[in-house]
Amino acid sequence: MRAPIVLVIGVLVAACAGVATTGGALASGSSPSATAVGAFVRVNQVGYPSADSKRAYLLASVPETGATFALSNGSTDVFGAPIGPDRGRWSAAFPHVYVLDFDAVTTPGTYTIAVTGPRAATTGPRAATART
């Protein structure tokens, strides 16, 4: 199992894995089985500048109607919202893609995204090094 990804806002990070699932993390470009995973979140591997748009993507094997997501900094939720509309198919294994929009979060830090819905998914924080 690879280390989970980190969501960093306000700085760029040196290296992160690209995909996180409820069962652990997969390296960017991996092709998880939909039956093994069900849903996972793709994030910007380099981080998110504070003033730029911030989006992650929930890829799911089943419809996630009514699902919500939350960003947390440690044990504190700092932002939450419903997932966006179904944007269509990523692949045969993941026919449902949803945008997770968190532009409102501008405070630099390390965050975790957790999706609550028919197939839960989460990213996991880890230490990151700022790029100069």
Decide: 12 and 46 in contact? Cβ < 8 Å. Answer: yes
pLDDT over threshold 50, residue 129: no
103 phi-psi bin (left φ>0, alpha ψ -120 to 50, beta other): alpha
**What mean pLDDT do residues 94-120 have?**
90
Phi, psi of 50 (to 5 degrees): -55, -40
Please report the pLDDT score of residue 68 as a whole number.
95
Q: Which residues of 45-84 are buried (b: 16+ CB within 10 A; e: fewer)?
A: eebbbeeeebebbbbbbeebeebebbbbbeeeeebeeebe
Give domain limits for the chain.
Answer: 7-122
Decide: 81 and 71 in contact? Cβ < 8 Å. Answer: no
pLDDT over threshold 50, residue 128: no
For domain 7-122, the CATH class is mainly beta
Please report the pLDDT score of residue 107 as a whole number.
86
Average predicted confidence (pLDDT) for the chain: 73
pLDDT in tens, 13-32: 322 333 333 333 333 344 44
* Pick from 17-21, 67-71, 109-113: least confident: 17-21
pTM beyond 0.85, yes or no:
no
